[in-house]
Amino acid sequence: LINASRGTVVDIDALAAALASGHIAGAAVDVFPSEPKANGDEFLSPLRGRDNVILTPHIGGSTLEAQDNIGIEVAAKLVRYSDNGSTLSAVNFPEVTLPGHAGSLRLLHIHRNVPGVLSKVNDIFGRHALNIDGQFLRTDPKVGYVVIDVAADEAQGAALREELAAIPGTLRTRVLY
């Protein structure tokens, strides 16, 4: 018997009795009617200690080891986004992983994924006679995310950001560095 749906779908005491009597040869369970409230609390179940039972935590992120690793991973991803604009492993945003581009100003433009936005973005740089050193676009069905590296100073970057923000469909702009 395998239960990976809901903890209350299987009567745990009846399952333990069926395993003990041999009516069921084995079980794998990763959801339970009651689970420890906090890390470190003991998990009590009549299924523990049986050779023919595999017990796993339904939410692997709830283990003590996972909690430490998740904290480190989330912090590292936030730093990568804040320092470089990378969004690798984002679940609700276009994924981008980027190399640094020394000597460039990096601008981020988040917009609704509709036709024509990228051409409007590029037109702004052309009007300022600025060459784009690097550009990366990724979209999902609703959102577009473009990262632009350009040889510009801070004042030019602020002006570019204002113009990018005025493009219809823009959700957010940012001068990263």
Distances (CA, A) of 110 to 24, 26, 42, 113, 119: 55, 51, 46, 9, 14
- Give residue limits of the domains in the chain: 1-60, 71-175
Q: Which residues are catalytic?
A: 6, 35, 58
* pLDDT of 96: 82
Average pLDDT over residues 9-27: 94
Give dist(CA 172, CA 169) in Å, integer: 9
Give dist(CA 3, CA 19) in Å, integer: 14
Closest by CA position to 96, among listed 107, 86, 81? 86
Q: What is the pTM of this model?
A: 0.61
Write the pLDDT tens digit of every residue in 109-155.
999 999 999 999 999 999 999 999 999 999 999 999 999 999 999 99
Q: Is the pLDDT of residue 16 over 90?
A: yes
Give dist(CA 33, CA 45) in Å, integer: 10
For 71-175, give the CATH class.
alpha beta
Write the pLDDT tens digit of every residue in 23-80.
999 999 988 777 777 767 777 889 999 999 998 876 666 666 777 788 888 888 888 8
Q: Is the pLDDT of residue 4 over 70?
A: yes
